[in-house]
Structure 1
Amino acid sequence: MNTLGIAGEERAAKFLKAKGYRLLERNFSAPYGEIDIIAQDKKTLVFVEVKTRAYTAFGGPLMAVTPAKQRKIALTAQAYLKAKGLKFDSIRFDVVCVLPEKIEQIENAFIPARTTM
């Protein structure tokens, strides 16, 4: 990961903590991909994709979370739940967009299609 990406993930983690989220894991990897941040928001387990950009000339950070990327995140989330044996009332997929001048969280940024491992 590049320096910009590392700095963006740090900003996102601090942002989520300040909102009261409990960070459970960072950079969880599985054969399907990686999830940047896994956190708990009250009774909801949140899988967070962090997208950092120095500028938006070629599109904003959210545009980088393509359907293919969403599928990889969903499969990795399934692997995490299976590995940890966790049960939550609900799960959610969020994207945190980090730009030099602002940080924005999109809750329920996507609902993954049914996936099977």
Structure 2
Amino acid sequence: MFGLGAYRRWLRSDRVRLGRWGERRARAFLRRRGYRIIARNWRCPAGEVDLVAADPSGPIAFVEVKTRRDEHWAPGQQAVHERKQQHLARVAQWFARRYGLKDRSLRFDVIVVVVPETGRVEVRHYPSAFRPPC
């Protein structure tokens, strides 16, 4: 029998595995479309971004990946609320300073990976999903 603590640890580890799996799907999706993956799970004092990718058309995309078993509660792109957008903007500023990207066009994308019980994976890409709030 599971105690509450063990159950919570199991749920968290399951979510972490699902999230990592979704990030792998998102990387493969972008590569198939000609993007070059620059960084994954890039960390700095401001936080972390799931993926940084160079779009073949030029901009650098900071990509938040949301993996869902279903979308009964809220679609993945709605999970990137204003506070998360501010967080990603700060991370992007750190990244741009660190790698001298001040002259490059930056944008913020969301990729939603949905894994329904039917097993057919759906990947949705929302380029320029938001402009960071001031």
Partner of 1:56: 71
Residues 61-97 of structure 1 show CA distances to partners (whole Å, capped at 9, x for unaligned) of: 1111000000000000000111111244411100000
Letter matched to residue 103 of structure 1: V
Q: Which runs of 4+ in 1 moved over 6 A?
A: none
Shift of 1:113: 2.2
Letter matched to residue 59 of structure 1: A
Indicate which of 11, 20, 24 corresponds to 2:38: 24
Q: Indicate whether 1:113 and 2:133 are aligned.
A: yes
- Decide whether the 8 Å contact of 2:82 with 2:133 is kept in 1: no
TM value normalised by structure 1: 0.92
TM value normalised by structure 2: 0.80
Using the alignment, how far apart are the partners of 2:103 and 2:20 within structure 1? 29
Partner of 1:76: 91
Q: Aligned pairs, how many?
A: 114
Indicate which of 92, 95, 101 corresponds to 1:86: 101
Unpaired runs of 5+ residues, structure 2, are 1-14, 116-120
Letter matched to residue 86 of structure 2: R
Highest relative contact order (Cα 8 Å, sep 6+), 1 or 2? 1
**Which deviates further from its counterpart, 12-21 or 34-43?**
34-43
Unpaired runs of 5+ residues, structure 1, are none
Letter matched to residue 19 of structure 1: R
The Cα RMSD (Å) is 1.3
